[in-house]
Amino acid sequence: MCDKLDSEKEKLSTLSDVSKFNYALKQFQTLIGKTVAQKREERLGMYVKDQDEIDYDKFYETVQTLFGPEVKDQDVKTFFRKISNNPDGRIEWCEIFGYFIVEGDALASQLDEENMVFLVSRRQQITKAGVKRRDVIKCIAKVPQLDFMVTASQKGMLTIFNSQVILIHARFFFSPLDSSWVTGCDYLTQLKRIVAVTERTVVVWDYKSQGSCQDNCFIIKPMEHCLLCVCTVNLGDQLAKDDILMGDDGGHVNLFTVTSDDFGLKQSKAKKKSQLQILDSRKFKNIKRKLHDDWVVKVKFISVLNCFGSCSLDSVHSFVLDDLKRLEDNLPVREFSVPRGVNAFTYCGKANIIVTGGK
């Protein structure tokens, strides 16, 4: 077997990338055929062990020789287990890379460019991500309309990257005496500013203005509870104002409204140079409702459904999905219970489903 593998390696090294993959694919299909035949004979009790027996170790070694590190160990295990459990079942070569073919018309509708790619080896590391030593990224927010991403580090560094992964802005917005950690960030689509939340404050950063970070940052405080997550509500019909959803450690979901008047020129001129501009949170419109009996770890507004979602480690009120109006009244909300709660969720528009994850 070792001689065969050495021979395969030599053969692959002499081919171009396309020819190499096609050759590896043919050899892989041959391997599948032999493995399936062996498993069928084993089920019938007709198989006699010999030196050509294909066990998992031999199967794994051959796959690694053919495709290299592009194939994950878990996908090889899953593929081999599928053949072992059902040698008569349908098997597609792409499953070795973690991709699965769907039956019927669903396949035709999904054969677009993004789903036709099986091998991805392009990977880029950002060496200067604007994060200091012993600091970590706590949140990443994608802004598709402007083609950039915002990251927030735990110790207060906001960073903006464009599509070429080039750092275009990075600012500290805390004073050395402020020990609060950042828990989330997002982009205000109407005010065109960055919002971030810490344990007790809301931070609004005018990233486009000239001058120091402190000149362009507004700190809204105090907040009654510790803020754990934030997202912007994109309704599209609002001018000069943004609604922000925030979750806290008291189980509340907050609907916080900021307008252009809140960050007007009068306040900018009245401030002292190089001093953070502090705004009183009591002057802002803030609607909140207790929906969970534990921390609210994620909030998200799903514009396609015109609903907000919030999740918690609460086993009874684990996930809530309802209209924003439910935050203003006491009517029952649509909620789901999951043992030990939900700490992550996302919505897929193509499949029209919501996926949750928890402990």
What DSSP designation does 45 have?
Answer: T
Non-local CB neighbours of 94 within 8 Å, separated by 6+ positions: 100, 101, 118
* pLDDT band for position 290 (cuts 50, 70, 90): very high
Residue 107 phi, psi dihedral angles, 5° rounding: -65, -50
DSSP-H helix ranges across 86-137: 105-110
Could you report the per-residue pLDDT of 93-151, keeping only the tens digit for each? Answer: 777 776 655 444 444 444 444 444 444 444 555 555 555 567 788 889 988 888 888 88
**CATH class held by domain 137-357:** mainly beta
* The pLDDT value given to residue 220: 92
* The pLDDT value given to residue 107: 43
* The pLDDT value given to residue 117: 46
* The pLDDT value given to residue 173: 52
Q: Which residue has the higher pLDDT, 101 or 245?
A: 245
Q: Which candidate, 95, 101, 39, 92, places its Cα nearest to that of 72? A: 95
Instruction: Spell out where 81-235 has E strands.
Output: 137-143, 148-153, 157-162, 167-172, 182-188, 193-198, 202-205, 217-221, 227-233
Q: Is the pLDDT of residue 154 over 50?
A: yes
Question: CB neighbours (10 Å) of residue 228?
Answer: 20
Percent of the chain's residues with pLDDT above 90: 31
* pLDDT band for position 247 (cuts 50, 70, 90): very high
* The pLDDT value given to residue 272: 47
Could you report the per-residue pLDDT of 193-241, keeping only the tens digit for each? Answer: 999 998 889 999 888 876 666 667 889 988 989 999 999 998 877 778 8
Q: Which of 12-26, 40-54, 114-128, 277-291 has the highest mean pLDDT?
A: 277-291
Q: Give the total residue count for the chain.
A: 359
Could you report the per-residue pLDDT of 306-327, keeping only the tens digit for each? Answer: 999 999 999 999 999 999 999 9
Longest dimension (CA), the chain: 90
Q: How far apart are CA 33 and CA 75, in angstroms?
A: 18
Over range 5-27, report the average pLDDT: 69
Q: Which candidate, 284, 225, 235, places its Cα nearest to that of 256? A: 284
* pLDDT band for position 180 (cuts 50, 70, 90): confident
